[in-house]
């Protein structure tokens, strides 16, 4: 079976610094793949490369059988590859539903004239967007806070709202950049449950994080980066027992591995 996402020899150099070196990975349809590593391992650079934020110095990215290397992020979103960012990006002073609706309408704007004159097309698209948002809020457990001001909610709810906004773009592959960074254990559990529900909808997920406890209870496979290179890949329990991985975390941010 052809992988949904195929990355081959992906490399990014900044002058004499190699942030990511010769990265190879496949993500299968319906899979949750974890990408972890100590601070500075190259995780964020890797997701930037795969999502089009940064152009690679070498290598290629193939999505749904198409070479999409260097394609702009908005073009990748149109093709079904969508990502979230480490920081929450809610609109302050607006409700959860209003935030989600803004995200839903980004890719489905009916056109200036249709919106201005509130044509049947504009009304139909608005209704479809509202129905989609309500389904997604229910899917990720945010219906009960839909009318709450988004930036007044706990950080974990704001992170989940970011996933709702990303899902409104109808991804085939969702990339999550440190979705539980800064969260309590309870908030991280909420996010984990949301990701499991996302996968149940047939969406593949790449989760970039350094929290092994979170990753081990979520992912089918885990890829460990260290100094921009693959250190280990396999089932979470096998990776956790890998001595090279243990040494990397002991030497660079052991607390993150135990968090």
Name the more confident of 79 and 255: 79
Q: What is the mean pLDDT of residues 65-94?
A: 89
Non-local CB neighbours of 56 within 8 Å, separated by 6+ positions: 10, 11, 12, 20, 49, 69, 70
CB-CB contact of 211 with 259 (8 Å): yes
CATH tag, 1-77+209-259: 3.40.50.300
pLDDT of residue 206 exceeding 50: yes
From the number of C-beta atoms within 10 Å of its C-beta (0-12, 13-18, 19+), residue 97 rates as buried
d(CA 104, CA 164): 9
Q: In 3-state terms, what secondary structure has residue 136?
A: helix
**Which has more pLDDT, 87 or 6?**
6
Mean pLDDT of all residues in 221-243: 94
pLDDT higher than 60, residue 110: no
Domain chopping of the chain, boundaries: 1-77+209-259
- What pLDDT digit, counting tens, does each position of 128-176 carry? 878 889 999 999 999 999 999 999 998 888 989 999 988 988 899 999 9
Judged by DSSP in three states, 159 sits in: helix
Q: Are 43 and 35 in contact (CB under 8 A)?
A: yes
pTM of the model: 0.86
Six token digits for residue 167: 């899902």
Residue 199, pLDDT above cutoff 60: yes
Q: pLDDT tens digits for 13-68?
A: 999 999 999 999 999 999 999 999 888 899 999 999 999 999 999 999 999 999 99
């Amino acid at each position: 079976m052809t992988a949904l996402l195929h990355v081959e020899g992906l490399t990014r150099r900044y002058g004499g610094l190699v942030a990511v070196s010769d990265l190879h990975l496949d993500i299968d349809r319906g899979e949750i793949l974890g990408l972890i590593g100590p601070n500075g391992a190259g995780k964020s650079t890797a997701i930037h490369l795969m999502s089009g934020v940064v152009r690679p110095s070498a290598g290629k990215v193939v999505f749904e059988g198409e070479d999409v290397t260097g394609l702009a992020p908005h073009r990748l979103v149109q093709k079904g590859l969508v990502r979230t960012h480490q920081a929450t990006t809610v609109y302050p002073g607006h409700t959860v539903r209003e935030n989600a609706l803004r995200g839903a309408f980004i890719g489905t704007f009916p056109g200036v004239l249709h919106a201005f004159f509130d044509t049947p097309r504009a009304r139909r698209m608005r209704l479809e967007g509202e129905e989609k948002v309500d389904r997604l809020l229910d899917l990720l457990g945010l219906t009960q806070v839909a009318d709450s001001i988004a930036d007044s909610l706990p950080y974990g709810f704001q992170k989940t709202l970011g996933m709702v906004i990303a899902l409104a773009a109808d991804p085939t592959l969702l990339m999550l950049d440190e979705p539980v960074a800064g969260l309590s254990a309870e908030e991280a559990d909420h996010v984990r449950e949301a990701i499991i529900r996302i996968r149940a909808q047939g969406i593949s997920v790449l989760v970039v994080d350094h929290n092994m406890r979170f990753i081990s209870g979520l992912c089918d496979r885990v890829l460990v980066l260290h100094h921009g290179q693959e250190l280990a890949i396999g089932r979470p329990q096998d990776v956790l027992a890998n001595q090279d991985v243990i040494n990397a975390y002991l030497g660079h941010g052991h607390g993150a591995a135990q968090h």
